[in-house]
Amino acid sequence: MSVGIDKMSFFSSDMYLDMVDLANARNEDPNKYLIGIGQKKQAVIPNTQDVVTMAANACEKIIDDDNRKKIDLIIFGTETGVDNSKSAAIYLQNMLGLSRRARAFEVKQACYGATAGLQMAKEYVTNHPDKQALVIGADIARYGIKTPGEVTQGGGAMAMVVSSNPSMLEFEGPSTFYSDDIMDFWRPLYRTEAVVDGHYSNDVYVKFFKNTWDEYKKITGLSIDDFKAMTFHLPYTKMGIKGLRAILNEADEDKQEHLKQEFEYGRKYNENVGNLYTGSLYLNVLSLLNNSTDLQTGDRIGLFSYGSGAQGEFFSMKLKDGFKNDQLADQIDTDLKNRKRVSVEEYERIFNNWIPIKDGDINLDYENDSADFFLKGVKNHQRI
């Protein structure tokens, strides 16, 4: 019996900030953002969307009645929770009409939360093959206006259904992981934006990748030649290039070119949406599956997950017959194309008006939000 990802979907907002506009406003060369950072557009998340509504919008595209019967584990990975106590998973369970005979909770370890959830789901479904698990990675990446991290903001939600005999991807072999107490990126309770030591965080990321990759090769006996593609947590897409470069010299020239090409397919969604924190690795995977022209059933892909603070994990998955969902791929392309471009001033206004930090009753102007699930406001400290 195999266990893995049966369905995957993605949601982000219908507004974006163009990185050339941002570069011009910040007196930077646009090529620094487009090439040096590797980002073209950044999702601007309106106040009518938070991690719960974004997750519900992602799930709505894939959850059917059969899933409703079988899902009894809901794990919500996020570092942008809407409450310090109640988990986002409980809200989501209700909004999707999922079974109440379920375990529903939130997981936090920076951008690693969804991977923690996925690995837990793998163990659970392995032991209970008739059940399914729903794993979410949803976040809004906020560094602050006019900060070096601003160009690496973004947001959205990834949803994944983990089942036995999955149609898309199956887990294969062991994971290798590594953790250490590192102050590269964190967000104290009193802050709405991350504190980050950006260049240090890049170095730690690459170090953790090398560490887990070397251990993985030792344990499995596999080499870079056994992988059709490598996918990464992509806080910004240049970060993945830095990761890939750290191991490329293990491959011959043809293989190097091939891996670079697959990376290009894989970063397409990420470079147009920005950082999803917990969801970024899985957006990279989805982008690879939907955009690559030469993947085949049975191909092995590598996944590197990284959460600042810090936790790294490397594992592999194999492609199953239904790895590509053309209908969903077309829908994502259309949604990304139809987004509204907002000005830097409009983005700043939205950024400064972030709801989770506001006390008291709030009525939001939700009529303009085209998504099926949205936040109408807050009353008596309860989200509506």
Residues that bind ligand CAA (CB under 6 A): 29, 31-32, 35-37, 111, 148-149, 151-152, 184-185, 196, 198-199, 201-202, 205, 233, 235-236, 238-239, 275, 277, 306, 308
Asked if 79 is an active-site residue, the reply is: yes
Asked if 170 is an active-site residue, the reply is: no
Calculate the CA dihedral of residues 154, 61, 283, 325 and round it to 10 degrees.
-150
- Residue 64 among known ligand-binding residues: no
Calculate the CA dihedral of residues 141, 112, 235, 254 and round it to 10 degrees.
-160
Q: Determine which one of 59, 106, 233, 271 is catalytic.
A: 233
CB-nearest residue to ligand CAA: 36
Q: Which helix (H) or strand (E) holds 265?
A: helix 253-273
SS3 305: strand
- Residue 202 among known ligand-binding residues: no
Q: Determine which one of 106, 111, 262, 313 is catalytic.
A: 111
Q: Determine which one of 59, 79, 271, 313 is catalytic.
A: 79
Q: Which is nearer to ligand CAA, 62 or 118 (CB)?
A: 118
CB of 357 to ligand CAA, least distance (A): 20
> Distance (Å, rounded) from C-alpha 256 to C-alpha 94?
47
- Residue 143 among known ligand-binding residues: yes
CB of 266 to ligand CAA, least distance (A): 16
Q: Which is nearer to ligand CAA, 198 or 356 (CB)?
A: 198
> Distance (Å, rounded) from C-alpha 219 to C-alpha 74?
31
Asked if 128 is an active-site residue, the reply is: no
Q: Which is nearer to ligand CAA, 166 or 312 (CB)?
A: 312
- Residue 242 among known ligand-binding residues: yes
Q: Which is nearer to ligand CAA, 284 or 308 (CB)?
A: 308
Q: Which helix (H) or strand (E) holds 155?
A: strand 154-164
CB of 203 to ligand CAA, least distance (A): 9
CB of 139 to ligand CAA, least distance (A): 9
The CB density around residue 341, as the number of other CB atoms within 10 Å, is 12
DSSP E strands, 180-274 = 185-186, 195-196, 229-232
> Distance (Å, rounded) from C-alpha 64 to C-alpha 163?
14
CB of 206 to ligand CAA, least distance (A): 9
3-state helix, strand, coil in the chain (%, to 5): 40, 25, 35
DSSP codes joined into one string, 317-333: EEE-TT---HHHHHHHH
Name the binding residues: 29, 143, 242, 275
Residues labelled catalytic: 79, 111, 233
Write out the binding residues for (3S)-3-hydroxy-3-methylglutaryl-CoA: 29, 143, 242, 275
